[in-house]
Amino acid sequence: MTTTPLDRLRAATRAWHDALESTAFATAMLSGTLPLDRYVGQLAAYREALAALEGELSRATSPCVTHVWSPDLAKLPFIERDLKYFRQSGVNPPPQARPAGRAFAEEIRRTAAADPDALLGFLYVMEGSTLGALLLHRYVSEAYRLTVPYGLAYYGSGDRTRWASFTTRMNEALMNDAWLNDALLNEDTHARVLAAADRAYHHTASIAEALAPPTRATARTPSSPPA
C-alpha cells in the first residue's frame, strides 16, 4: 500500500495529538469543568494564530500553497463570531490567552517570510483541530449551555467532506514533483511541512498549558511530545 504525505504527517504527529488529548485543559473540557473564560481564552489565542495564518496563506504565491488554500477553509469568521458573542455577554478571555496566541502568530509570520510552503504544516494542524472539535462540540454545548451559532461557531465548523477535499489537495501538492522541481526537493518540502506542523502543535500545547484550570495541577501539558 502506498503511503501518502498525509499518512506520514499523521503518523509523525500522533504523539502530539495524543498528548494534547490528555492535557488538563482537554480533560476539564471533556468533564464539563473548564471555566468558561478559559474556553473563550482558547478562542482568543486561536484568533491571533488564524488571523496570521489565513492572511499569509491568502498572500502566498507558491503553487503548493495555492493548490491547497481556498477561502472555504477560512475559520477566522467563525471564531470572531464566537468572540463577539462572548464580549456582548460580558465574558472576556484571561490575560494569558493573547500572549500565547501572539507567539503562535509570530511563528507563522516568520515561517511565511522564510518558507511559504511550510505554512501547509500549520494549516494541517489548525484544519484538523476543527475536525477534532466536532467530537468536543456536545461537551462544550452542555457545559456552557450554548447553542449554534452562539459561542459554538468555531467548534461547529469542522466538516468531514471538506477535510477529505483538503487532504486530497494536500497530497496532490506534496506529491507533485513538477511544482517542487525534483523528487529530492519534494522530500525536503515534506520534512519542512512536518517541522512546521510540529511547531504548530507546540504552540497549541503552550496555549492549553497557559489556560489550564488552576485547580488541576496533575495533568501538565508537555513542552514536547512523548517519545
At 2-36, the pLDDT tens digits run 688 888 899 999 999 889 988 999 999 989 999 99
Confidence at residue 215, expressed as pLDDT on a 0 to 100 scale = 62
Distance, in Å, from the CA atom of 139 to the CA atom of 133, rounded to the nearest integer, reads 10
What per-residue confidence (pLDDT) applies to 44? 97
Q: What is the pLDDT of residue 1?
A: 57
The total of structural domains in the chain comes to 1
The confidence score (pLDDT) of residue 69 equals 96
The answer to whether the CB of 124 falls within 8 A of the CB of 9 is yes
Residue 222: half-sphere exposure toward Cβ, Cα within 13 Å: 13
d(CA 69, CA 83): 24
CA distances from 189 to 51, 117, 137, 179, 217 (A): 24, 7, 34, 11, 39
* Domain assignment of residue 105, yes or no: yes
What pTM did the predictor assign?
0.88
Buried b (16+ CB within 10 A) or exposed e, 153-192: bbbbbbbeebbeebbebbbebbbeeebbeeeeebeebbeb
CATH code of the domain covering residue 205: 1.20.910.10
Consecutive 10-residue averages of pLDDT for the chain (227 residues): 82 90 91 94 97 97 93 94 96 94 97 95 92 80 87 88 90 70 60 94 96 61 46
**What pLDDT is recorded for position 127?**
92
- Report pLDDT for 74: 94
Return the pLDDT at 184.
39
Q: Which helix (H) or strand (E) holds 111?
A: helix 97-114
- Asked whether residue 56 is assigned to any structural domain, the reply reads yes
Residue 226 lies in a domain: no
Tell me whether residue 124 is in a domain: yes
* Residue among 201, 175, 206, 199 at smallest CA distance from 189: 175
**Domain presence at residue 97:** yes
Q: Are 70 and 120 in contact (CB under 8 A)?
A: no
Q: What is the pLDDT of residue 131?
A: 77
Q: Is residue 219 part of a domain?
A: no
In-domain check, residue 142: yes
Does 218 map to a domain? no
How far, in Å, CA of 196 to CA of 167, rounded? 17
Q: Which amino acid is at 123?
A: L
DSSP 31-94: HT-S-HHHHHHHHHHHHHHHHHHHHHHHH---HHHHHH--GGG--HHHHHHHHHHHHHTT----
Q: Which range of residues forms the domain containing residue 138?
A: 5-210
pLDDT digits (tens, 9 = 90+) for 69-80: 999 899 999 999
Q: Quick one: DSSP state of residue 147? A: B
CB 173 within 8 A of CB 98: no
